[in-house]
Amino acid sequence: MNSRILPLVLLAIFISIPTQGKDFRFVDSTFCPLVCDSTIDGKEGYVIDILRDALATKNHTLTFEIIPFPRAIIQVRTGEAHALPAIYHSDAPDLIVGEAVIAPGRNMLFARKDFAGQYQGVESLSKLNIGVILGYTFGNESIDNYISEAKKTRNNNVTFIAGDKPYKRLIMMLMNGSVDAIIDDSSFIYHAISNSNQFDASLIKMVGIIGEGENVVAYSPSLPEDSKLLLDIIDPFINDLYDSGDINKYVTPYGLKFENNLMLFVD
């Protein structure tokens, strides 16, 4: 073989060999339909679906484990895990995030149908017993500070939920009168209600908008090279989904639609 041709042949063979992929560990608690327990819901959640497809474009894979939210943050922070699939950056400002929003959110105050009060800012919350999920923030600095301070002082007006099936337990507390109101993203609350025969959606009402939220993928500061690799793959993939409208291919199977820059629940 001509000595000039040999390097070109070797180069062609090298290029044709698939790049060896890497498996990345993601951890989070469940907040279906973004992140679900497949053993219960039959699906992993549309955020996990998106991330699996994004990594597959570069021959990488994803191992996902459901653990309590505070522990998930610690594991990503220390490098025991590579990333959280969806988080408000305010929940852990030290973690690395990109610019892409994987899921927009809208946090609401929910109460029972017979609730006669009105939401008028953080001052009105001090007159209520409210339930929230431990470690979450809600896109409203005043309320986030109020909840954070309540945890420090062990204020009995705020009840924190952690562990398995947090949304189901949060709604149960509201329905049985353990709390006056609960705060969380409307998509999660309505999804939890619609997927359980224990709750009657007509008995719960929205009494205030707390704040807008942006769920982002958060990466480990202890694994900077892996975090940059992941961010460079995932951010463009997410942006392309929203720019093209293909995001609805992922959210439709979960009873959602992306419209007017909001993720809406489809009855």
Give tens-digit pLDDT for 197-223.
Answer: 888 888 899 999 998 889 999 999 999
Q: Which CATH class is domain 21-104+214-265?
A: alpha beta
Q: Tell me the mean pLDDT in the region 244-262.
A: 91
Residue 15 has pLDDT above 50, yes or no: no
Give the pTM.
0.78
Residue 6 has pLDDT above 60, yes or no: no
Which superfamily does CATH assign the domain made up of 106-212 to? Answer: Periplasmic binding protein-like II (3.40.190.10)
* CB burial readout 103-120, b (16+ within 10 A) else e: bbbbbbbbbbeebeeebe
Q: Where in the chain is the domain with CATH 3.40.190.10?
A: 21-104+214-265, 106-212
CA-CA-CA-CA dihedral for 74, 79, 81, 86, to nearest 10: 60
Q: Tell me the mean pLDDT in the region 113-140.
A: 91
Residue 72 has pLDDT above 90, yes or no: yes
Read off the pLDDT of residues 20-31 as tens digits, 9 standing for 90 and up.
899 999 999 988
Residue 110 has pLDDT above 60, yes or no: yes
Cα 238 from Cα 243, distance rounded (Å) = 9
* pLDDT > 70 fraction of the chain, expressed in percent and rounded: 93
Residue 225: count of CB within 10 angstroms of its CB? 7
